Amino acid sequence: MLQAHRGELFALMVAVFWTVTALAFESAGRRVGSLPVNLIRLVFGFAFLSFLNGAVRGAPFPADATPHHWAWLSLSGMVGFVIGDLFLFKSFTLVGSWLAMLIMTLAPPLAAVFGWIFLGERISLLGLGGMALTLLGIALAVFHRGEEGTRPRERRPLLGILYAFGGALGQSAGIVLSKHGMGDYDPFAATQIRVITGIAGFALIVTAAGRWGPVLRAFRDRKGISAILLGSFFGPFLGVSFSLRAIQHTSTGIASTLMALTPILLIPPSVILFRHRITPREIAGTVLSVAGVALLFL
């Protein structure tokens, strides 16, 4: 049973990893800024991946990748890591993280559409029902996050909403490009290629924006850099790598839907760390999301 659904299990693990990552990067972003976090997290992630690939594969660099791997995985890294995450982090500053995450639930259906168009993937009616129910639960739990200032701001700039949609579009397109480019290639080496492209892309952005000063100063903030280190281990290292493992063993749409459970998983730590009250709306959303996951497994 577990072997048959290992793709779905990998996707659920990714949701947990990204929960840790979101908490760590939120803390780091408040201290050193989102752009330094974006670049430094990928540098740390590359170091983790190089160590693992050297120990397991005997090659710290993906020199055995074919031109096909390099081309499509690099494109995936540019679309997902650079463009998608750049838009997502920017949307946080304009409309708040919870509204941005609500809009990011568009990523799974977008990924399913891309998978259908480019990879010829099919999803059963039961699977579609599970995806819809999971997305409904996520939206119900995230929308109007609570009271006492925890709900999204009433004033919602159109540009911020468009940035969040850009993040969802980048994430969904990136994962489909990864699946096409990776094939049977090692997921951790494939992630390393994506990270290399991400580092190069953000280095160009930081240079063009003249923001190397804040990036260098971030290394002097011990709490900030520790949070980036933690987030890098669970995000660009474990999270992204296991997301590629997930799409190797299940359809892109189903994997993306399960990975989109992160906003639901963020509710308990937000209560513990930030003392938010769980509302009946959030509980109902969690129940619907679990029911959707059950349908996906069926």
pLDDT of 278 reads: 64
For 140, other C-beta atoms within 10 Å of its C-beta total 20
Q: Which residues contact 101 (CB under 8 A, 6 or more apart)?
A: 142, 262, 263, 266
Match 């399913």 to its residue by tokens. 112
What would the mean pLDDT of 143-167 be, rounded to a whole number? Answer: 63
Residue of 89, 116, 77 lying closest to 251 (CA atoms): 116
pLDDT at 58 over 70: yes
**Tens digits of residue pLDDT in 193-204:** 999 999 999 999
**Tens digits of residue pLDDT in 115-150:** 778 878 777 787 788 878 878 887 887 665 444 444
**Tens digits of residue pLDDT in 206-235:** 999 999 999 999 999 999 999 999 999 998
How many helices (DSSP H) and strands (DSSP E) are in the chain? 16, 0
pLDDT at 28 over 80: yes
Show me where the domains of the chain are located.
6-297
Average pLDDT taken over every residue of the chain: 82
CB contact at 8 A, 24 and 231: yes
pLDDT at 154 over 70: no
What token pair was written down for 30?
């408040």
Confidence band, pLDDT 50/70/90 cuts, at residue 23: confident
**Tens digits of residue pLDDT in 239-274:** 887 887 888 888 777 887 788 787 778 777 777 775
pLDDT of 150 reads: 43
Q: What is the DSSP string of 64-102?
A: T--HHHHHHHHHHHIIIIIIIHHHHHHHHHHH-HHHHHH
